[in-house]
Amino acid sequence: MRKTLLGLLFAGMAVSATAQQSALSPQVQSFVDRVMPQVVEWRRDFHQHPELGNREFRTSAIVAEYLTYLGFEVRTEIGHTGVVGVLRGGQPGRVVALRADMDALPVVEQVNLPFASTQRTQYNGQDVGVMHACGHDNHVAILMGVAGVLAQMQETLPGTVLFVFQPAEEGAPEGEEGGADLMLKEGVFADPRPDAVFGLHVSPIPVGAIAVRKEGMMASSDEFSITVHGQQTHGAQPWAGIDPIVVASQIVLGLQTIPSRQLDATLTPSIVTVGAINGGVRNNIIPESVEMIGTIRTFDADTRADIHERVTRTATQIAASAGARAEVSIDIGYPVTRNDSALTEQMMPTLRRVVGQGLAESPRVTGAEDFSYFAEEVPGMFFFLGVAPDNPELVFPNHSPNFFADERALPIGVQTMTALALDFLNGE
């Protein structure tokens, strides 16, 4: 049996795969039922034709065509391939934004499905397979379904719904900007400006489950690189030079003391990981330099800045103690994905109405999400939607070539996002 952290949270929990019919009014539920066959068809189509970040040309064209058909105000090419649809209700009210990410990953699919991806493309100069290994195909199809449902309620809808279909959540290609941050720079929330934003992510927890938590739910994600400059010499005479490999090894160990010995362990979980070390070409030559790259994860903005300072100090001073020199570069990545406490508390009854006992508090997740940029701009709430099949042998984590999303979760996703939008606009 394969279980993720979220999977362990739900171990042994009996969760219904069918959302409660009381989640929506009979009329709205009939709208959901009517659109579901199309949602399934969309999801399978997107799954079979995945596209990488900033290259979601086919996906965004299908989304834009459908939103135009529904009569929405449609804006395209926001953040390269992003699409925004504006549904203005017939009654005055607030503005709510609903977000879905569209991009796939450079992964060769290994799931035996009739609509499995066989796509290949170029990614950073390499020929790669392409797969919706993180489940964004489900996100797009679900939000299109919600658009279809709410479009039928336009005359009585109090307020405005902003449908945001975002590219490049997994990151833009080298040398490009992309994702939520770029969409915000290009005015995605400028007119109309949302009062709140909601988003979901499919997760290998049981179908019928939803996991959410207040405040920091997913970690910030920063990349660092450290170049240790020594002095090249013969491997048989290390005293004749300065060995950057030994210094780099000391730095790796020193970095581990930052989360384990230098930070307040009661404040927030934090991680400093070195993911690659490269240096040297021959067994008997001590090289001139060594390069290291890694990631920094935490759930608190002040701790994040503190770790950056400590990584720089640790690397440079360890190197200096050996007569070497370390250059440290830290690339700021996604912020903490933080759920607004008041908004989350307000919407908990909505989530509970949809999944009942399937609602649980999510653990902190050290993965990162660029929904965080939207939630920094306006109050936001992000949650996990269970898509794990009943057979544990078919349960794999996101980003696995074997990741599989059970389609029984699709109507629950449509119901949940629809209910959140309606309840927020109605002030419930």
Catalytic residues: 334, 407
User: 391-421: b or e for each residue (b if 16 or more CB lie within 10 Å)?
Assistant: eeeebbbbebebbbbbbbbbbbbbbbbbbbb
User: Please, are residues 413 and 200 in contact by the beta-carbon 8 Å criterion?
Assistant: yes
Helical (H) or strand (E) element with 352: helix 341-355
Which residues, at least 6 apart from 11, have a Cβ–Cβ distance to it below 8 Å?
3
Distance in angstroms (rounded) separating the CA atoms of residues 421 and 96 = 7
With tokens 């065509």, the residue in question is 65
* Cα-to-chain-centroid distance, residue 363: 15
First to last CA, the chain: 41
Where would I find the beta strands (DSSP E) of 312-422?
Answer: 325-331, 337-339, 359-361, 380-388
User: Please, are residues 267 and 258 in contact by the beta-carbon 8 Å criterion?
Assistant: no
